[in-house]
């Protein structure tokens, strides 16, 4: 399987639909005060850079980098399409984002993900790629429904 990861301006229907699925899923399973997902406007207006992963012409996943400052960035909107779960798309996207951040001079990456059972696979993926749990960062407040992680690059 060949995964083609490329920059995405969020104008394509497939990408917009996967972002919408991601947002709706996060909002359905997380109380509003603990839901930190960015919708299309938040991704575009917040300075995030989005990439999409494609397999045989089909959208397989998305991921974004949002700057925190000159040396730090946050991973946002990591999502694998249901049809591609368990096929290495998330790991490929994560490694791509790490490489992109490194190329931009970013020295550390940060993320917020859920702390519940629905997010076990995500937390395991991040930990397997060197992320460790940390305190809330940036504008986040401590939240029992959030797990915060970071790693140097």
- Helix, strand, or coil (residue 113): strand
Q: How many residues does the chain have?
A: 153
27: pLDDT strictly greater than 90: no
55: pLDDT strictly greater than 90: yes
Average the pLDDT over 66-92 and give the result: 96
Domain boundaries, the chain: 4-152
User: Closest by alpha carbon to 79, among 130, 150, 18, 17?
Assistant: 18
Determine contact, residues 27/19, Cβ cutoff 8 Å: no
- What is the predicted pLDDT for the residue at 23? 80
- What is the predicted pLDDT for the residue at 49? 95
CATH 3.40.50.11740 for the 4-152 domain, yes or no = no
Upper half-sphere CA count for residue 109 (Cβ side, 13 Å): 24
CA distance 52 to 10: 9
């Amino acid at each position: 399987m060949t995964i083609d990861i490329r920059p995405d301006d969020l104008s394509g229907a497939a990408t917009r639909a996967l972002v919408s699925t991601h947002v709706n899923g996060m909002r359905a399973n997380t109380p509003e005060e603990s839901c930190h997902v960015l919708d299309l406007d938040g991704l575009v207006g917040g300075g995030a850079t989005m990439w999409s992963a494609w397999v045989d012409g089909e959208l397989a996943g998305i991921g974004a980098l949002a700057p925190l400052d000159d040396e730090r960035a946050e991973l946002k909107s990591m999502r694998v399409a249901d049809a591609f779960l368990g096929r290495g798309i998330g790991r490929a996207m994560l490694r791509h984002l790490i490489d992109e951040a490194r190329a931009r001079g970013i020295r550390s990456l940060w993320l917020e993900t859920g702390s519940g059972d629905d997010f076990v696979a995500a937390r395991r993926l991040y930990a397997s790629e060197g992320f460790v749990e940390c305190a809330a960062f940036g504008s986040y407040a401590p939240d029992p429904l959030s797990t915060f992680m970071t790693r140097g690059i």
